[in-house]
Amino acid sequence: MSTLQNVGQKPKVTLALLAFFTLLYNYFFWEEQFGLNLSLFSALLLAASLYAHGRPGRNAWVAAGFTLLSGIMVVWHNSFVSKLAHLVSCFLTVGFLHEPRLRSVLYAAWYAARTTWETGLQGLPLLGRGIADLTPRVAVFKAAPRWLKLLTVPGAFFSVFFVIFSIANPVFADLGARLGTYLGEALELLFGNFSPLRLLFILPGVYLVALVLYKWDIPEVYGQESGETNVIVRRRLRRKLGKLAGMIALKNERQAALLLVISVNLLLVVVNVIDVRWLWFNFDPKQAGNLTKLVHEGTYMLILSILLSMGILIYYFRSNQNFYPKNGLLKAAAYLWLVQNAVLSVSVLIRCGYYISEFGLAYKRIGVIIFLGLVFFGLFTLYRKISGQKSFYYLLRTNAWAAYAVLIGLSLVNWDVLIVSHNLDPRHVQSRILDTPFLLNRSDKTLPLLDAHRDRLRAFPGYTHYGERSFEHLHSIEHLDRRIADFVRTYESHSWLSWNYADYRTYQYFKHKSGDSKQ
């Protein structure tokens, strides 16, 4: 079982921070939406973790920078992707802060996951140990009844004199009243409307703050990564019989790999020639048959073939095959396979582009484009692995960092607004059919765009609204008006803690429009 480290030699400070951030969590998030509160809370909590754990490593600073950037995006356009990226980045930053020597995003995620597990498994002992640090002598608890007896009489007389002075002196009474008001407001702010549900809400906050502030000693995570290298280490067999058997095995594996890679290369040549002639230069959507089937089924199958090809090359170049003296032909065939997979990826990208041009943007179509970008990067790193005798750990580390950077990059874009603005523009979408239910169910940030294109929505009036236990047929405009009213009511019910610029701009749009209509 992992042990709790003496957090920066500051256990009392850490326990005080735990109490402070638990109260802050209660204040920031109770009956609020993610917005300014999430960015502020995570920034303050990570800053406290930096203070508690000492000097971080370089990767911790990079992850903290990504967290700060995604936090700004949460406040700026508050998209689902920005909030997801921010939470994932916070999680990874915890791993890098707790073990500064980690190099890989995957190992940081593993360390953070283990920290989450250990905090949940040993949470109560952790809090008990922190309280024991503040009260090192059990005699303090034994003396508590005596202190209560000593304070009872002075406290009673203090209350009597306070009442007397309040009656006798109006200024003192006013001062006491104001002090009582401030104290009551503070208690109301922190513990107002306290309920069992509120307690259930606070408990995850205690858990969350504890897993960030308290550092567990988990040596096996770094111990495993420290044994990983970016370059493959050649394994030599000492005995002659072992060497001979090893060379025969390598030769047989090389022959099997050559047969497989060359045969699949020939298949890919045929597929790529067809795609280049048909898709790249002579494609006609009207003669393509079922474009949906072509894109959906064809794209997924081609992506599967690309991933399968990469997996096969990783397997064959996993170890001593990299050092076989007669593997020049195998490497050349592997490089050709990588190039052909890149061409195949371009064909998949073109298929997706045709579909977007015909039917508009959607999450899966954008996801395919982003995934293909990662595939191109993966093919490049696979080329570097084969040519530079890199290890599988190198592939995992570089591609995981790339995926992390792409996730943060995705948080920079308000995808719902981009999708709706693109699909409502007839210059971009050739199809005469507008997917009204899809557009009407995007985030609240798209409401001004939908409101500005009411004429287009009226042309596609049918809309079925599904509730929790029933459904009703509404006109598209009626559903839009209902959503606008719900947004305004929800926005006005939240405080500054839920503030974000995108919702603020949407609210101001309808507020000004309402004001103009009344004039």
Q: Which two tokens stand for residue 471?
A: 């459904």
pLDDT tens digit sequence for 13-36: 778 888 899 999 999 998 899 999
**Eight-class DSSP state of 412:** T
Mean pLDDT of 53-75: 92
Residue with the bigger pLDDT between 470 and 173: it is: 173
What is the structure's pLDDT at 63?
96
Question: Which amino acid makes up residue 61?
Answer: W
Where is average pLDDT lowest: 185-199, 416-430, 445-459?
Answer: 185-199
Alpha carbons 158 and 145: distance in angstroms, whole number: 20
pLDDT band at 289 (very low <50, low <70, confident <90, very high): low
**Highest-pLDDT range among 148-157, 168-177, 510-519:** 168-177
DSSP type of residue 462: E
Residue 460 in this model has a pLDDT that exceeds 60: yes
Q: Please give the Cα distance from 353 to 368 (Å, whole number).
A: 10
Count the helix, strand and coil residues of the chain and give each as a percent rounded to the nearest 5. 80, 5, 20
* Structure confidence at residue 290 (pLDDT): 59
Contact 370, 410 (CB under 8 A): yes
Q: d(Cα 350, Cα 285) in Å, to the nearest integer?
A: 12
Q: Higher confidence at residue 308 or residue 517?
A: 308
Q: How many CB atoms lie within 10 A of CB 303?
A: 17
In this prediction, residues 259-267 reach a mean pLDDT of: 88
Residue that has been written with the tokens 């490497």 in this structure = 331
Residue 204 structure tokens: 């995850």
For the entire predicted model, the pTM comes to: 0.81
pLDDT for residue 241: 41
Q: Bigger pLDDT: 288 or 48?
A: 48
Long-range contacts, stretch 83-89, CB < 8 angstroms, 24+ apart? 83/34, 83/38, 84/407, 84/411, 85/407, 85/408, 85/410, 85/411, 86/38, 86/39, 86/42, 86/411, 88/404, 88/407, 89/63, 89/404, 89/407, 89/408
Q: How confident is the model at residue 258 (pLDDT cuts 50, 70, 90)?
A: confident
- Which range is most confident: 280-294, 319-333, 381-395, 468-482? 381-395
Average pLDDT over residues 419-423: 92
Per-residue pLDDT, 237: 52
Confidence of residue 468 (pLDDT cuts 50, 70, 90): very low
Which residue from 133, 95, 135 is spatially nearest to 6, judged by alpha carbons? 133
- Left (φ > 0), alpha (ψ -120 to 50) or beta: where does 54 sit? left
Instruction: Please give the mean pLDDT across all residues of the chain.
Output: 81
- Rounded distance between C-alpha atoms, residue 413 and residue 70, angstroms: 11
pLDDT in tens, 484-507: 999 999 999 999 999 999 999 999
Which pLDDT score is estimated for 170? Answer: 74
Q: How far apart are CA 278 and CA 367, in angstroms?
A: 24
Q: What is the mean pLDDT of residues 428-448?
A: 81
- The residues near 232 (Cβ < 8 Å, ≥ 6 apart) are 318, 319, 322, 389, 390, 391
Pairwise pLDDT comparison (516 vs 104), residue with the higher score: 104
Q: Give the residue-averaged pLDDT of 244-259.
A: 69
Q: Summarize the confidence of residues 146-175 as an average pLDDT.
A: 70
Phi-psi region of 29 (alpha: psi -120 to 50; beta: other; left: phi over 0): alpha
Asked whether residue 249 carries a pLDDT value surpassing 60, the answer given is: yes
- 490 against 236, higher pLDDT: 490
Q: How far apart are CA 32 and CA 408, in angstroms?
A: 24
pLDDT band at 245 (very low <50, low <70, confident <90, very high): very low
